[in-house]
């Protein structure tokens, strides 16, 4: 199984279970969306909790699928995220240990998020010469603010959840039993309406242009400049001037451009080579 489905009273728990990092390949995406539909069609289910099996919430998209038909096969990552965001019952992400890339983008589409304080959250796509391609550039800045969102996406460095506890990214920090406390939280908001969506948060910052230009200058000053960081800034800038849907379209355009770039191809090849070397040395 790549995704487990269980009932805990009136709460359905959908667990990503694709070791070792719960990567969201086509099999996982299919089972996950089926689980969402099952919960929505069950009148006894009032809320849904999403979590990850093992030591990772989710490492995101399966990069082995990049440049293959499986990457866009339905349900793709966007469809998986839409199924969560458009759910008619509350969806709560229960985040632990590591939640990065598409895993964080999935969480950002949930109506609520709870996390262990030490959970590392981030969008590291820039380190592969890419940008977040499933709404990350549009949702994360809305959740944590322009400056934090910009820093996290351009650097690609994960941040501990407790450092983001005072933002719209998280509704509650959990120090005890994550799953049980997440189920209790889900029960407490089961009847809450309307369901909150990060996409509906308005972006406004008095010094937005200064912040964006400062980041662009930092990027331009680096000797080994790749196109991805600048594209990240351009996509994030759209949160201030364009609608959410327009920003998503721009993000998708940039993602494809970067995916096909020689710089990203070289970085992905280096990543796979390093991973293969680690397996040989293990």
Query: What percentage of the chain reaches a pLDDT higher than 70?
Result: 96
Which residues lie closer than 8 Å to 98 by C-beta, 6 or more apart? 21, 55, 56, 57, 58, 59, 119, 120, 158
Residue 281 has pLDDT above 70, yes or no: no
> Would residue 125 show up in a list of annotated catalytic residues for this protein?
yes
Residue 269 has pLDDT above 90, yes or no: no
- What gap in Å lies between CA 197 and CA 156, rounded to an integer? 24
Asked if 173 contacts 162 with a C-beta cutoff of 8 angstroms, the reply is yes
Q: Of 45-49, 123-127, 172-176, 224-228, which gets the smallest average pLDDT?
A: 224-228
pLDDT at 276 (0 to 100) = 62
Half-sphere exposure of 73 (CA within 13 A, CB side): 16
Written as six digits, the tokens of 60 are 């995101």
Q: What confidence tier does 147 reach under pLDDT thresholds 50, 70, 90?
A: very high
Q: Find the catalytic residue in 105, 160, 209, 251.
A: 105
Distances (CA, A) of 115 to 82, 225, 249: 22, 34, 30
The average confidence (pLDDT) of the chain is 94
List Cβ<8 Å contacts ≥24 apart for 254-258.
Answer: 254/131, 255/130, 255/131, 255/132, 255/133, 257/227, 257/231, 258/129, 258/130, 258/131, 258/227, 258/228, 258/231
pLDDT at 282 (0 to 100) = 55
Q: Of 26-40, 241-255, 258-272, which gets the smallest average pLDDT?
A: 258-272
Half-sphere exposure of 249 (CA within 13 A, CB side): 5
pLDDT at 1 (0 to 100) = 67
pLDDT at 252 (0 to 100) = 96
Structural domains of the chain, with CATH: 1-282 (3.90.226.10)
Query: What percentage of the chain reaches a pLDDT higher than 90?
Result: 84
| DSSP three-state, residue 49 | strand
Helical H segments across 86-193, by residue range: 102-109, 136-144, 146-155, 178-188
Angle ∠(270,272,276) on CA atoms, nearest 5: 115
Q: Of 1-5, 48-52, 163-167, 273-277, which gets the smallest average pLDDT?
A: 273-277
- The residue among 229, 35, 269, 74 whose CA lies nearest residue 137 is 229
Residue 151 has pLDDT above 90, yes or no: yes
Written as six digits, the tokens of 172 are 């509650």
pLDDT digits (tens, 9 = 90+) for 53-107: 999 999 998 888 877 888 879 999 999 999 999 999 999 999 999 999 999 999 9
pLDDT at 275 (0 to 100) = 67
Q: Find the catalytic residue in 65, 125, 187, 251.
A: 125
Asked if 54 contacts 42 with a C-beta cutoff of 8 angstroms, the reply is no
pTM score: 0.95
Residue 33 has pLDDT above 70, yes or no: yes
Q: What would you report as the CA-atom Rg of the chain, rounded to the nearest whole angstrom?
A: 18
pLDDT at 274 (0 to 100) = 74
Q: What confidence tier does 278 reach under pLDDT thresholds 50, 70, 90?
A: low
- What gap in Å lies between CA 114 and CA 270, rounded to an integer? 35
- What gap in Å lies between CA 88 and CA 47, rounded to an integer? 9
- Higher-pLDDT residue of 276 and 155 is 155
Beta strands (DSSP E) in the chain are 3-8, 11-16, 47-52, 91-95, 98-100, 112-115, 120-122, 159-160, 172-173
Residue 206 has pLDDT above 90, yes or no: no
- The residue among 134, 39, 20 whose CA lies nearest residue 80 is 134
Quick one: average pLDDT of 232-243? 97
Query: Please, is 242 exposed, middle or buried when counting C-beta atoms within 10 Å of its C-beta (0-12, 13-18, 19+)?
Result: middle
């Amino acid at each position: 199984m790549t995704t487990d489905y269980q009932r805990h009273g009136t709460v359905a728990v959908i667990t990503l279970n694709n070791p070792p990092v719960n990567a969201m390949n086509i099999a996982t995406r299919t089972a996950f969306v089926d689980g969402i539909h099952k919960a929505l069609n069950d009148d006894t289910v009032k809320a849904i909790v999403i979590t990850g099996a093992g030591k990772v919430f989710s490492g995101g998209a399966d990069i082995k699928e990049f440049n293959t038909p499986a990457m866009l096969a339905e349900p793709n990552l966007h469809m998986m995220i839409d199924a969560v965001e458009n759910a008619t019952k509350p969806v709560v992400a229960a985040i632990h240990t590591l939640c990065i890339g598409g895993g964080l983008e999935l969480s950002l589409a949930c109506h609520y998020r709870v996390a262990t304080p030490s959970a590392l959250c981030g969008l590291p796509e820039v380190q592969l010469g890419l940008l977040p391609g499933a709404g990350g550039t549009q949702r994360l800045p809305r959740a944590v603010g322009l400056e934090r969102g910009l820093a996290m996406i351009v650097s690609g460095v994960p941040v501990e959840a407790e450092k983001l506890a005072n933002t719209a990214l998280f509704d509650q920090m959990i120090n005890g039993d994550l799953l049980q406390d997440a189920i209790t939280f889900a029960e407490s908001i089961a009847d809450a309406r309307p369901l909150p969506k990060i996409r509906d948060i308005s972006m406004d910052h008095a010094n937005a242009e200064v912040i964006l230009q400062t980041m662009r200058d930092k990027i331009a000053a680096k000797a080994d400049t790749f196109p991805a960081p600048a594209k990240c800034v351009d996509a994030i800038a759209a949160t201030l001037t364009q609608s959410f849907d327009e920003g998503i379209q721009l993000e998708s355009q940039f993602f494809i451009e970067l995916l096909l770039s020689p710089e990203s191809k070289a970085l992905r090849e280096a990543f796979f080579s390093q991973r293969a070397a680690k397996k040989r040395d293990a």
